[in-house]
Structure 1
Amino acid sequence: MTPERLARIKQILDRRQPDLTVLTDQVHKPRNLSAIIRSCDAFGLANMHAVWPKEGYRAFRKTAGGSFNWVTTHTHPTMTDAVATLKAQGHRLYAAQLSDRAVDYRDVDYTVPCTVIMGNEVDGVSADAAEQANEHIVIPMMGMVESLNVSAACAIILSEAQRQRKAAGLYDRRRLPEDDYLRLLFCWCQPTVKRYCDDRNLPYPPFDPETGDLVDGVGWMEAVRRQRHPHLVEESCEKMREKMGSELKF
């Protein structure tokens, strides 16, 4: 971990917005989902929420540009569950939905804890989610087409959210809770170790946030080996003892 890389990671984390997020309502085209994740990263969102379509989810990494590594995606089984979770966190819900009560997307307040709900490519936001939303928002259209691609619309809305939040100074100070900040700092600085631990359900090792390095990487790995494969460690120690014994003979 170079000092320049560590400084860049900390700079990004210092701008992350923990209380601005996007909720996708069964958006089914992988390229759209990947582009939405990319927009979330670009505008400083720490989290994205999703209710996947029935056929599941597969992001196109080329479209996402690696941003799936930088935005935490939370999956919900239904929109009812997702809406309840976000409302419990105190979020206002802004559904991108053409309706009689829809307002210009620039006329709502994005400086409060809020979620932008983006509907799927065919049916839009589901009826239940639309009913529970605090506001319906639309992007005024000046051409022949009636709507934008869902990922393009999401980027436009998040751009306005960024404008409002920047004017309010919300990007000028660290806003992530300390535990979340340190967890993400570890994950971003040590992605290989993170994957190793996640795959084996292991706790993350001690980590120095000042350098981005493990406190004692060799010692930690040796402890993991002892825990997971005690017989192999014992065999290795026995061979070492035998080797040392032979070398001590004159």
Structure 2
Amino acid sequence: MSPERFARINQMLDNRQTDLTICLDKVHKTNNIAAVIRTADAVGIHQIHAVWPDIEMRVSGNTASGSQQWVKTIKHYHMSEAAEQFKAQDMQVLATNFSNTAVDFRDVDYTKPTVVIMGNERDGVSDEGLAIADQHIIIPMIGMVQSLNVSVASALIMYEAQRQRAQAGKYGTRTLDDAYCQTMLFEQGHPIYAKACRRKNIPYPQIDDQGQILADETWWQRMREPDPQAEA
């Protein structure tokens, strides 16, 4: 791994926000899902959630531009499953919805642990999603349209959250656990060796503070052994 690659991955890890996330509520268009993931990566969101009870969601690699490698999508079959995770992290739950209690999305404190539920363009946030929300938020509009594409709306909210968190000094201090960071450094810094480890069922090695592999001779010997899949 080059020093530049090592530094860039570490910078990403240092800025990941583990207590800020988006929950896509039955958003099924792959280009919208991928665009949300791409923006999530750009603002430093560690993972997003997606509720889809019926089909497997697929992300278009071209639209996401590889960002799905960096932002994990946690899939739920029911909103109640997602709600349990949000409650366990003591997150404030926001939902985009036109209601009498909705406030401007910029008037919310995103420095708190936060999840924003985004609905699909036809139906909006589901009744289940609205029921678990602590606050409804809206994006003010003065034109003729009444809604934005879900990926555009998500981007506006995520960048407001990023702005507030940057002002509060929440970027630059690593909050991810070391095991996850080691995995990312190895998989993204040494992808050929990482693929070989998965094929040969070899444990991942440690990565040192220069981005290089720390492994004993036994590990390297197993790496040099013939690939069982190649012989099959």
Per the normalisation by structure 1, the TM-score is 0.83
Shift of 1:51: 1.5
CA distance in 2, matches of 1:153, 1:218: 52
Residues 44-87 of structure 1 deviation map (CA, whole Å, 9 limit, x = unaligned): 01111111352321212111111001111111121110111111
Q: Distance in 1 between matches of 2:115 and 2:185?
A: 24
**Residues 220 and 45 (structure 1 numbering): CA distance in 2 closer, same or farther, change over 3 Å?**
same
Report if aligned partners of 2:35, 2:63 keep a CA contact under 8 Å in 1: yes
Do residues 27 (structure 1) and 27 (structure 2) align? Answer: yes
Unaligned runs of 5+ in 2: none
What is the SS of the residue equivalent to 2:152?
A: helix
Whole-Å separation in 2 of the counterparts to 1:71 and 1:186:
16
Whether 1:207 and 2:170 are equivalent positions in the alignment is no
Distance 2:74 2:197 in 1: 19
Q: Which amino acid aligns with 1:176?
A: L
Instruction: State the alpha-carbon separation in 1 of the partners of residues 78 and 197 from structure 2.
Output: 29
Question: Over the residues paired in the alignment, what is the CA RMSD in angstroms?
Answer: 2.3
Q: Which residue of 1 aligns with 2:161?
A: 161
Whole-angstrom CA distance in 2 between matches of 1:203 and 1:157: 42
Is 1:182 equivalent to 2:195 in the alignment?
A: no
1:181, CA displacement in angstroms?
Answer: 2.7
CA contact (8 A) 2:53 2:76 kept: no
- Classify 1:101/1:177 alpha carbon distance in 2 versus 1 (closer, same or farther; 3 Å): same
Give the C-alpha shift of residue 221 in structure 1: 5.5
Q: In structure 1, how many angstroms separate the alpha carbons of the residues matched to 2:126 and 2:198? A: 34
What is the SS of the residue equivalent to 1:117? strand
The alpha-carbon distance between structure 1 residues 210 and 59, as it changes in their structure 2 partners (threshold 3 A), is same
How many Å separate the matches in 1 of 2:34 and 2:215? 36
- C-alpha change, 1:207 and 1:164, in structure 2 (3 Å) is same
Please say if residues 196 and 223 of structure 2, whose CA atoms lie closer than 8 Å, have aligned partners that are also in contact.
no
Instruction: Note if contact 1:43-1:162 (Cα within 8 Å) is conserved in structure 2.
Output: yes
Q: Which has the larger radius of gyration?
A: 1
Counterpart secondary structure, 2:95: strand
CA pair 209-46 structure 1, distance change in 2 beyond 3 A: farther
- CA-to-aligned-CA distance 1:149-171 (integer Å, 9 cap, x gap): 00000000001000100000001
* Contact 1:28–1:53 (8 Å) recurs in 2: no
Q: Does 1:73 align with 2:82?
A: no
Question: Who is 1:125 aligned against?
Answer: 125
Query: Which SS does the other structure have where 2:24 is aligned?
Result: strand
Aligned residues: 229
CA contact (8 A) 1:205 1:214 kept: no
Using the TM superposition, give the Cα deviation of residue 96 of structure 1 relative to its aligned residue in structure 2, in angstroms.
1.3
Aligned to 2:101: 101
**8 Å contact from structure 1 (residues 22, 49) kept in 2:** yes
- Partners of 1:80 and 1:139 lie apart in 2 by 26
2: distance between equivalents of 1:101 and 1:198? 50
The alpha-carbon deviation at position 147 of structure 1 amounts to 0.5
Q: Superposition pairs for residues 1-250 of structure 1, below 5 Å? A: 1-52=1-52, 54-198=54-198, 202=201, 204-216=203-215, 219-220=218-219, 222-223=221-222
Q: In the aligned structure 2, how far is the partner of 1:38 from the partner of 1:12?
A: 14
2:21 aligns to what SS in structure 1? strand
